[in-house]
Structure 1
Amino acid sequence: MNGDRKMPPLERQQFIVSVLKEATSPVSGRDLANKTKVSRQVIVQDISVLKAKNEPIVSTSQGYIYLDKQKENAPFRKVIVCKHGPEQTLDELYTIVDHGVTVKDVIVEHAVYGKLTAPIGVSSRKEADAFYHRIKETNAPYLLTLTKGIHQHTLEADSMDKIEAACSALKKAGFCI
């Protein structure tokens, strides 16, 4: 990017895809906005356009990621049902990631909207802390508050043994239904 010139939309969208493909961790909308000399809202619109063009971009609490189809098919997955209050969220995430398992998303069944799914993409204590602090600093409610603490998570790991160990630890801690 040269000087303070704004990138034209098509060029900017191609740039976003290339940055996300090369990234080894989520890239925030703010970072993309700074690199392309536009507002974060313009980046949000660009991401929507790219998703409409079937680019496999996922929004997480840490930023945007480009799904690698090979990685997407590699992990073992399991959906679990949990119940706890917001104050126990960090302990729940630690319990899962300490077993080498990634929390892909959180899912709640809303009375009006039906199934609501939000990507989380937390696979370490550092990422769990970042998620927790982002919720706190924005004062955003946890989705589980919509369902009296009942929610689901899609768990991913490189072996089913790790997922089962995490599930056992969650049951022992009283998080799983």
Structure 2
Amino acid sequence: MMEAPKIPGDERRALILKWLKESVSPIKGGELALKTNVSRQVIVGDISLLKAREEPIIATSQGYLYLKAEEKAAPHTHLIVSNHSPEHTKDELFTIVDHGVTVRNVIVEHPIYGDLTASLLLSTRKDVEEFISKLSSTNATLLSTLTEGIHLHMLEAPTKEQLDRACRELEEKGYLLT
């Protein structure tokens, strides 16, 4: 049986951009690799080239996402500083999303590299479960392990009240650094 031909670079990047713009949810790099008959590493390079062209693509734990204009800023955002052990990560994230709040990212301050930011885009318990499962299955470590548990999250929500309620509960549980 004949193998499908690889899609040339410029054409492949145009297709990747089209698929990302059309998608309402993240697309995994492996899926893009299969659709274009190249390796996942080639896709990583393609995404880097697209980002260098200032395409608003972010890598999340669920895959690549194209930020549409209306998604770039939520009506209400709040930066929190958390401090807890890795064992409390799931509860911290559940606490946030249970109030209808999205965890946009995680940020840690590295002594050499400065701020390290990773996109999360966790909005539901399912998102959190998938994140925790991927963390476990890959034996990856949380960024907060670099800073003895101290990390920041940019939170966003449709209303300020949702953010306030989530922050109150996080504080009650002792997760916020005050």
Following superposition, the deviation at residue 5 of structure 1 comes to 1.5
Aligned residue in 1 for 2:120: 120
Aligned residue in 1 for 2:159: 159
For residues 16 and 92 of structure 1, what CA distance do their matches in structure 2 show? 34
Following superposition, the deviation at residue 149 of structure 1 comes to 0.5
Residue identity matched to 1:73: A
Aligned residue in 2 for 1:10: 10
- Write the deviation string for residues 86-120 of structure 1: whole angstroms up to 9, x where unpaired: 11101000000000000000001111111111111
Aligned residue in 1 for 2:140: 140
For residues 87 and 74 of structure 2, what CA distance do their matches in structure 1 show? 33
Following superposition, the deviation at residue 122 of structure 1 comes to 0.5
Aligned residue in 2 for 1:70: 70
Structure 2-normalised TM-score? 0.96
- Write the deviation string for residues 54-85 of structure 1: whole angstroms up to 9, x where unpaired: 10000001100000112213431110000001
Aligned residue in 2 for 1:93: 93
Tell me the secondary structure at the aligned position of residue 35 of structure 2.
helix
Aligned residue in 2 for 1:26: 26
For residues 74 and 132 of structure 1, what CA distance do their matches in structure 2 show? 25
Aligned residue in 2 for 1:58: 58
Structure 1-normalised TM-score? 0.96
For residues 71 and 133 of structure 1, what CA distance do their matches in structure 2 show? 26
Query: Which 4+ residue blocks in structure 1 deviate beyond 2 angstroms?
Result: none
Residue identity matched to 2:27: V
The alignment of Structure 1 onto Structure 2 pairs a total of residues equal to: 175
Following superposition, the deviation at residue 171 of structure 1 comes to 0.5
For residues 76 and 105 of structure 2, what CA distance do their matches in structure 1 show? 14
RMSD: 0.9
User: Which deviates the most, 95-104 or 112-121?
Assistant: 112-121
User: Which deviates the most, 12-21 or 67-76?
Assistant: 67-76
Alignment pair present for 1:102 and 2:102: yes
Residue identity matched to 2:141: P
Contact residue 74 and residue 156 of structure 2 kept, 8 A: no
Indicate the percent of aligned positions where both proteins have the same amino acid: 51
